[in-house]
């Protein structure tokens, strides 16, 4: 049985004895090839120069055991020392962390059924879907709702999305497969709101961002000037009506940037993402019990199903060739990429304004591959 299997349980409190709070995770010695990092920056600079990417940030850090090294570059429209991007699905593990504070507090269990909180959530096996299923994309819920574009066109609220998610047809029997599901993350956030009486934007601010010093990251603008954020480059609307209404609900619109979608609405910086990932890599217990932080970055999928952490992606869905098997992180559709590799103590964040589906290979992956080479385990 490997370490990931050993960490599985119905709640983090149940594994506390297998990972003492005082036990610091072992992290290997990482390299630091500055020429290779400069090459990664040059690749991004080329995409900026020819106009394919409007703005980008690269941040690579290594921890105290590797000498507290840092490499930072901002490009194009990414102005200032900590430019703010729409992070897209890098939001998901942040939402999961806020939800897991309720597990630590004994207010929620990973084995609790969604129907416990939403009694009408029945039929097609919905009664069996657990919080763990929501956080590992194994519940059978869709990624986006069938009428997603129409919802955005009418500036729907998160409650509207919730009602759609509760009624959406399942894609498969819960627990039998993996299928990426933004709606599963949404329902986990709605359950947290039901328990605490606080919107997920407030809950994550109080329980995750503030304790970690993530002062430039929020769900929604929360009073900040949208014009000061890095604008995302246009992504295509999928329908003819959508194309006509696109200006009112695209990623740069006041509507979308104020919605604070718990599956993809965080606005934040590369530096704040490293603060968040450092907590899970070093398991310091600042937002969750160290055992809970370890749980979130290890496989929690049912046996035989694609590996997934709780809100976090695991290899091969995240990282680059050369990253270790314990790597965790998340990427985003707006053109964002991030991973943390405990084997080298490295965190890599690449944020761009170019939506991920625009080109293959995307510059975030080209840069990430060079970073992984630059910090390969010595």
What's the confidence (pLDDT) of residue 24? 55
Has residue 113 been placed in a domain? Answer: no
Has residue 221 been placed in a domain? Answer: yes
d(CA 98, CA 59): 24
Has residue 263 been placed in a domain? Answer: yes
Give burial (CB, 10 Å; 0-12/13-18/19+) of 322.
middle
Three-state DSSP string of 118-161: CCCCCCCCHHHCEHHHHHHCCCCCCCCCCCHHHHHHCCCCHHHH
What's the confidence (pLDDT) of residue 167? 97
Has residue 355 been placed in a domain? Answer: yes
Has residue 318 been placed in a domain? Answer: yes
Has residue 18 been placed in a domain? Answer: yes
Placement of tokens 């900590």 in the chain: 82
Domain containing 102 equals 3-108+199-374
What's the confidence (pLDDT) of residue 16? 31
What's the confidence (pLDDT) of residue 240? 78
CATH value at residue 262? 3.40.710.10
pTM: 0.92
Has residue 368 been placed in a domain? Answer: yes
Has residue 164 been placed in a domain? Answer: no
What's the confidence (pLDDT) of residue 121? 98
d(CA 181, CA 111): 18
Contact 255, 248 (CB under 8 A): yes
- Strands (DSSP E) contained in the chain are 55-62, 70-76, 85-86, 218-219, 266-268, 328-332, 336-341, 346-352
**Average pLDDT of adjacent 10-residue blocks, the chain of 378 residues:** 35 34 59 96 98 98 86 97 97 98 98 98 97 98 96 96 98 98 98 98 98 98 97 84 82 97 98 98 97 98 96 97 97 98 97 96 98 88
Tally the domains of the chain: 1
């Amino acid at each position: 049985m490997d370490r990931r299997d050993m960490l599985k349980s119905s709640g983090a409190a149940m594994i506390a004895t297998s990972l003492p709070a005082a036990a610091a995770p072992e992290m290997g010695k990482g390299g630091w090839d500055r020429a290779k990092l400069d090459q990664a920056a040059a690749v991004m600079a080329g995409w900026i120069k020819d106009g394919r990417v409007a703005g980008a940030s690269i941040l690579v850090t290594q921890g105290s055991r590797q000498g507290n090294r840092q490499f930072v570059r901002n490009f194009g429209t990414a102005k200032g020392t900590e430019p703010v991007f729409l992070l897209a699905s890098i939001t998901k593990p942040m939402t999961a962390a806020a939800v897991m504070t309720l597990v630590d507090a004994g207010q929620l269990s990973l084995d609790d059924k969604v129907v416990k909180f939403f009694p009408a959530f029945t039929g097609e096996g919905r009664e069996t879907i657990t919080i763990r299923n929501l956080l590992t994309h194994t519940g059978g819920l869709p990624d986006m709702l069938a009428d997603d574009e129409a919802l955005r066109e009418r500036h729907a609220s998160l409650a509207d999305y919730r009602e759609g998610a509760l009624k959406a047809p399942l894609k498969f029997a819960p627990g039998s497969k993996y299928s990426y599901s933004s709606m599963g993350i949404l329902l986990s956030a709605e359950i947290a709101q039901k328990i605490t009486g606080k919107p997920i934007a407030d809950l994550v601010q109080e329980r995750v961002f503030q304790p970690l010093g993530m002062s430039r990251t929020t769900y929604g603008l929360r009073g900040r000037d949208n014009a000061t954020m890095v604008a995302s480059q246009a992504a295509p609307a999928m329908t003819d009506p959508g194309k006509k209404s696109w200006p009112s609900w695209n990623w740069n619109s006041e509507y979308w940037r104020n919605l604070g979608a718990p599956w993809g609405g965080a606005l934040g910086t590369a530096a704040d993402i490293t603060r968040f990932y450092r907590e899970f890599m070093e398991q310091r217990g600042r937002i969750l019990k160290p055992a809970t932080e370890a749980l979130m970055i290890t496989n929690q999928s049912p046996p035989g199903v694609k590996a997934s952490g709780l809100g976090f992606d695991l290899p091969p869905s995240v990282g680059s060739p050369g990253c270790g098997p314990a790597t965790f992180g998340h990427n985003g559709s707006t053109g964002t990429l991030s991973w943390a590799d405990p084997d080298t103590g490295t965190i890599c964040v690449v944020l761009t304004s170019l939506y991920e589906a625009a080109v293959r290979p995307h510059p975030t992956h080209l840069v990430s591959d060079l970073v992984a080479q630059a910090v390969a385990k010595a």
